[in-house]
Amino acid sequence: MNIILIGDPVAHSRSPKMQNAAFAHLGLDLSFAAVHTPLADLPLRVAALRGPDYLGANVTLPHKQAVIPLLDTLEPEAARIGAVNVIYKGAGGALVGANTDAPGLLEDLREGGMALAGRSVVLLGASGAARAAAFALVGAGLARLTIANRSLGRAADLVANLRGSSADQPPPDVRAIALDDIALPAIIAAADLLINATSLGWHADETPLPNPPVSAHTLVYDMVYRETRLLREAAAQGARTRDGAGMLVHQGALALTRWTGRTAPIEIMWAAFRSALTP
């Protein structure tokens, strides 16, 4: 049985080595492979998952929102977030979309010693990964969330979604701002946590925010699971930093349970992830 990673690009991914090590440890006859999938090929790629040779998929950028209309149903949290990173088969072979990015992020922040209650957070980006982070953060009791994006309209749409989903529990102070807004540096300087959920930093020495105005009280978290320019420049200014390796492992563990019903061997997955970083 096959499970695939759907995205564009995917060659950089450590998920295949991590998941295949977990399957082997559990004695499961499963194979995980990354499959490069441009947007034009996404409908056919998802349709192929309905075949008997497939158990499901991970979904990575830029398809976490585009994949939703191609599925049969969503878990409630994925529907609320509006982004999917896991596909598995439900009753009758229905394709079910889930989001394990949100709990994966919260677990990694917890392991990193970051208590969110009452804190001020700046989130860079408004794509599928950012949506998962935003909904997770709002549910964690923080005091203020500022979403900064190149397109102010997309950030404002996400803020509206967050407010609209919290009728039974008023959200914290949530606001949208453009990345080039002159007010952003002061907001970042006062924040306890800065998260990069953009794609800048994945494939080149790019950054969404050169020389971020952070200090020792700030944790700078990059969803990219390696050292990035953002993290280097933040560390040079005295900030604490953390990359997205833990988020990758924890979302992958939750995905494995969706596909197999088994408890994921976290330490095996961590060891495989670390070995994948070695040339």
For each of the domains in the chain, give its residue range(s) and CATH number, in order of start.
2-99+246-276 (3.40.50.10860), 102-243 (3.40.50.720)
Residues 272 and 38: their CA atoms lie apart, in Å, by: 27
Rounded to 5°, angle at Cα 202 from 198 and 207: 60
Residues 200 and 209: their CA atoms lie apart, in Å, by: 9
Residues forming a β-bridge with 88: 56, 96
Distances (CA, A) of 228 to 122, 204, 221, 241: 18, 9, 10, 10
Alpha-helical runs (H) found in the chain: 15-26, 42-48, 76-81, 101-111, 128-138, 152-164, 184-189, 229-236, 245-260, 266-276
Residues 16 and 68: their CA atoms lie apart, in Å, by: 23
Residue listed under structure tokens 């420049």: 233
How many beta carbons lie within 10 A of that of residue 41, not counting itself? 13
Output the pLDDT for position 279: 47
Residues 205 and 254: their CA atoms lie apart, in Å, by: 30
Query: Who's near 232: CB < 8 A, 6+ residues apart?
Result: none
For the chain, the C-alpha Rg in angstroms (whole number) is 18
Residues forming a β-bridge with 10: none
Instruction: Please indicate whether residue 17 is annotated as part of the active site.
Output: no
Q: Residue ranges of the chain with pLDDT lower than 50?
A: 279
Give the active site residue among 64, 80, 119, 229.
Answer: 64
Residues 63 and 127: their CA atoms lie apart, in Å, by: 10
Output the pLDDT for position 230: 97
